[in-house]
């Protein structure tokens, strides 16, 4: 072979190699694009075809493709679960949990490989934070998914109506029990809260607020069990009642507040409940699920039949959405979690830690309260047994000086018929004293006061008193507290089930407007 022939052969080999690499890059880019477009099977095929080429180059490319493969298999397993539900078959989350674990491992490998490459770190620096956040989320989600693939498990889902506001987001009008057997969802049982309550014969001493305004001399009952502002402790109280109603061995509790359902219907559009001759929409879902409390009785099926049918139709409506609309569903669900409208509790302490890390635990106060921070949590509970909170809005004004803080609360009742009877509470960090409470210009001299402990072990002071707001009226509450001058920050907690609220902070530096649209809002006093 001549020198010229050898060079020609070498150039041909280099050209073929370049074409192969180019083809691999094209396949990889196409796999990523198809994944984002929701074409998971095509994306999976492209990624797998590109893998042998990537192995000739470097491990970062390989781990990236493996992440795309794992993401596709995870999403395809989710689609399979949805198809099972649509076809009336028993869905199984075992495959999904396994794929989720594979996705976590692959994403971690990508992160490590990028961090070990100065070029990639420089190129992708701004996106590394998002990748790390995704990996952190997967680290906490995977154990939760895997837990429900092991043996028999039961999940309690509480449907809380925020139009009748309570501490954790709303009145627990209905619930669902989801039974899993080795990852298969074997049964969904939807019931009215009074079905279980009617089977509880024991008497429990009611907490303050419930005793005076809700118990009717009958003690503490299941419908009012979510009185504690800490969701973990509230869930423990609720599970105690469920156990006495022969609904025990519950492995997890999920609370879903009304705004979650409303936000889903805003994206899917109205759904028809043909068996009930009802069209359910974002604007009327609260009214459809609303019923006369006096008409409830153990064994009644009207409301739970509507809820079961609505759940089925909503799942079908979500399945028909396009990729962009499904992304909107995911984003809206994320926003509702930030607002505290999806809460989770696990009796298993290790799983509860995962829920806390994901921001789902609904704990009273932060995980750790800094010593230089003043904490406040204004909390409403509708004890008027009506759904007036659909027409109630609120505003906060926080005025802080060196040793004095005044929290102003304006409650606007826009209902033309119903009054708002509210057991108003304020929880605040130790080291403060109540100077005075004024409602509509009149001082409140009698109020409940006690020290409460959160599920994280932090102690808080709590006061409570009754406030009534007539139809088409405003109630103005001013709570003045004294404290030392050592504090630098204010931390305010938002109540689940309430709409986004405007807070005006007034300090020596002037006034500033904040939007309380997440579970916590923190700002500096100076």
Does any domain span residue 73?
A: yes
Q: Give, in order, the Cα–Cα distances in Å from 90 to each of 305, 313, 472, 508.
A: 20, 17, 50, 62
* Ranges 198-207, 313-322, 398-407, 473-482: which has the least confidence: 313-322
**pLDDT band at 294; cut points 50, 70, 90:** very low
pLDDT at 296: 46
* Same domain flag for 141 and 186: no
Does any domain span residue 221?
A: yes
> What single-letter DSSP state applies at residue 422?
E
Residue 174, beta-bridge partner list: 159, 192
**Which of 331, 357, 383 is at the close of a domain?**
357
Per DSSP (E only), the strands in 102-244 are 152-161, 171-181, 184-192
* Same domain flag for 334 and 410: no
Report yes or no: 389 and 162 within 8 Å, Cβ to Cβ: yes
CATH number of domain containing 428: 2.60.40
Does any domain span residue 365?
A: no
The average pLDDT across 157-184 equals 93
Q: Give, in order, the Cα–Cα distances in Å from 171 to each of 70, 84, 164, 442, 486.
A: 40, 32, 6, 30, 39
* Same domain flag for 348 and 442: no
For 177, the 3-state DSSP assignment is strand
Query: 477-497: buried (b, 16+ CB within 10 Å) or exposed (e) per residue?
Result: bbbbbebeeebeebbbbbbbb
456 Cβ contact list (under 8 Å, min separation 6):
363, 364, 365, 367, 368
- List, as own/partner pairs, every contact residues 508-512 make where C-beta atoms lie below 8 angstroms and the sequence separation is at least 24, other chains included: 508/401
CB atoms within 10 A of CB 200: 20
Stretch (H or E) spanning 50: helix 40-54
Domain span holding position 303: 152-357
pLDDT at 20: 63
354 Cβ contact list (under 8 Å, min separation 6):
140, 141, 143, 144, 346
Total domains, the chain? 3
CB atoms within 10 A of CB 76: 17
Q: What integer best gives the mean pLDDT of the chain?
A: 84
Q: Check pLDDT > 50 for residue 119.
A: no
SS (H, E, C) 181-193: ECCEEEEEEEEEH
pLDDT at 292: 47
* Same domain flag for 167 and 257: yes
Return the higher-pLDDT residue of 65 and 378.
378
* Same domain flag for 201 and 89: no
* Ranges 120-124, 249-253, 302-306: which has the least confidence: 120-124
Does any domain span residue 367?
A: no
Residue 189, beta-bridge partner list: 177
Percent with pLDDT over 70 in the chain: 83
401 Cβ contact list (under 8 Å, min separation 6):
507, 508
360 Cβ contact list (under 8 Å, min separation 6):
337, 342, 343, 344
Q: Positive or negative CA dihedral for 206, 208, 210, 215?
A: positive
* Same domain flag for 161 and 87: no
* Same domain flag for 246 and 283: yes
Report yes or no: 77 and 99 within 8 Å, Cβ to Cβ: yes
User: Token digits for 30?
Assistant: 């196409």
* Same domain flag for 178 and 139: no
Stretch (H or E) spanning 211: helix 210-213
Return the higher-pLDDT residue of 447 and 133.
447
pLDDT at 22: 67
**Which of 147, 170, 192 is at the close of a domain?**
147
* Same domain flag for 132 and 156: no
**pLDDT band at 10; cut points 50, 70, 90:** very low
Torsion angle of alpha carbons 80, 84, 90, 92, nearest 10°? Answer: 10
**Which of 82, 114, 147 is at the close of a domain?**
147
* Same domain flag for 174 and 264: yes
**pLDDT band at 407; cut points 50, 70, 90:** very high
CATH number of domain containing 114: 1.25.40
Does any domain span residue 362?
A: no
449 Cβ contact list (under 8 Å, min separation 6):
434, 461, 462, 463, 464
Report the predicted TM-score, pTM, of the whole model to 2 decimal places. 0.84
Report yes or no: 339 and 499 within 8 Å, Cβ to Cβ: no
CATH number of domain containing 252: 3.40.630
pLDDT at 6: 46
Report yes or no: 425 and 393 within 8 Å, Cβ to Cβ: no
Does any domain span residue 366?
A: no
Does any domain span residue 363?
A: no
**pLDDT band at 116; cut points 50, 70, 90:** low
* Same domain flag for 188 and 271: yes
The average pLDDT across 237-264 equals 93
Report yes or no: 269 and 174 within 8 Å, Cβ to Cβ: no
Q: Are strands 252-257 and 373-379 parallel, antiparallel or unpaired?
A: unpaired
pLDDT at 278: 81
Does any domain span residue 127?
A: yes
CA dist 489 and 513 (Å) reads 16
**pLDDT band at 321; cut points 50, 70, 90:** confident
* Same domain flag for 24 and 95: yes
SS (H, E, C) 293-355: HHHCCCCCCHHHHHHHHHHHHHHHHHHCCCHHHHHHHHHHHHHHHHCCCEEEECCCHHHHHHH
């Amino acid at each position: 072979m001549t020198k010229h022939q050898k060079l020609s052969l070498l150039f041909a080999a280099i050209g073929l190699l370049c074409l192969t690499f180019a083809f691999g890059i094209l396949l990889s880019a196409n796999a990523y694009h198809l994944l984002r477009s929701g074409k998971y099977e095509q994306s999976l095929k492209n990624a797998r075809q590109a893998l042998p080429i990537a192995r000739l180059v470097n491990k970062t490319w390989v781990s990236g493709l493996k992440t795309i493969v794992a993401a596709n298999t995870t999403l395809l397993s989710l689609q399979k679960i949805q198809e099972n539900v649509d076809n009336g078959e028993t869905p199984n989350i075992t495959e999904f949990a396994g794929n989720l674990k594979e996705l976590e491992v692959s994403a971690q490998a990508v992160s490590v490989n990028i961090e070990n490459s100065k070029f990639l770190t420089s190129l992708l620096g701004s996106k590394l934070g998002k990748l790390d956040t995704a990996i952190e989320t997967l680290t906490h989600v995977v154990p939760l998914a895997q837990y429900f693939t092991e043996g028999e498990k039961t999940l309690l889902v509480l449907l809380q109506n925020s139009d009748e506001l309570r501490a954790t987001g709303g009145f627990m009008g209905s619930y669902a029990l989801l039974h899993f057997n080795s990852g298969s969802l074997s049964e969904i049982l939807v019931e009215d809260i009074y079905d279980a309550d009617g089977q509880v014969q024991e008497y429990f001493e009611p907490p303050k607020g419930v005793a005076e305004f809700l118990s009717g001399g009958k003690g503490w009952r299941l419908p009012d069990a979510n009185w504690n502002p800490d969701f973990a402790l509230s869930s423990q109280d609720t599970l105690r009642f469920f156990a006495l109603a022969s609904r025990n061995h519950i492995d997890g509790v999920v609370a879903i507040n009304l705004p979650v359902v409303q936000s889903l219907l805003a994206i899917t559009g109205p759904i028809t409940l043909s068996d009930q001759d009802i069209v359910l929409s974002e604007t009327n879902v609260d009214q459809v699920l609303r019923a006369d409390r006096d008409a409830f009785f153990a064994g009644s099926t009207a409301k739970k039949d509507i809820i079961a049918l609505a759940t089925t139709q909503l799942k079908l409506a979500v399945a028909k959405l396009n990729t962009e609309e499904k992304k909107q569903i995911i984003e809206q669900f994320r926003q509702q979690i930030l607002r505290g409208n999806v809460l989770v509790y696990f009796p298993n302490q290790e799983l509860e830690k995962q829920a806390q890390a994901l921001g789902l635990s609904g704990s009273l106060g932060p995980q750790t309260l800094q010593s230089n921070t003043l904490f406040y949590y204004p909390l409403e509970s509708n004890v008027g047994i009506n759904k007036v909170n659909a027409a109630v809005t609120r505003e906060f004004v926080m005025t802080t000086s060196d040793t004095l803080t005044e929290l102003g609360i304006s409650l606007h009742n826009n209902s033309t018929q119903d009054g708002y009877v509210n057991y108003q509470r304020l929880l605040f960090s130790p080291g403060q004293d109540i100077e005075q409470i004024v409602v509509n210009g009149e001082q409140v001299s009698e109020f409940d006061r006690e020290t409460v402990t959160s599920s994280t072990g932090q102690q808080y002071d709590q006061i409570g008193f009754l406030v009534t707001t007539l139809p088409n009226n405003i109630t103005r509450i001013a709570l003045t507290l004294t404290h030392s001058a050592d504090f630098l920050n204010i931390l305010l907690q938002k109540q689940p089930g309430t709409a986004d609220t405007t807070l005006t902070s007034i300090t020596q530096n002037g006034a500033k407007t904040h939007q309380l649209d997440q579970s916590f809002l923190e700002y500096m006093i100076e």
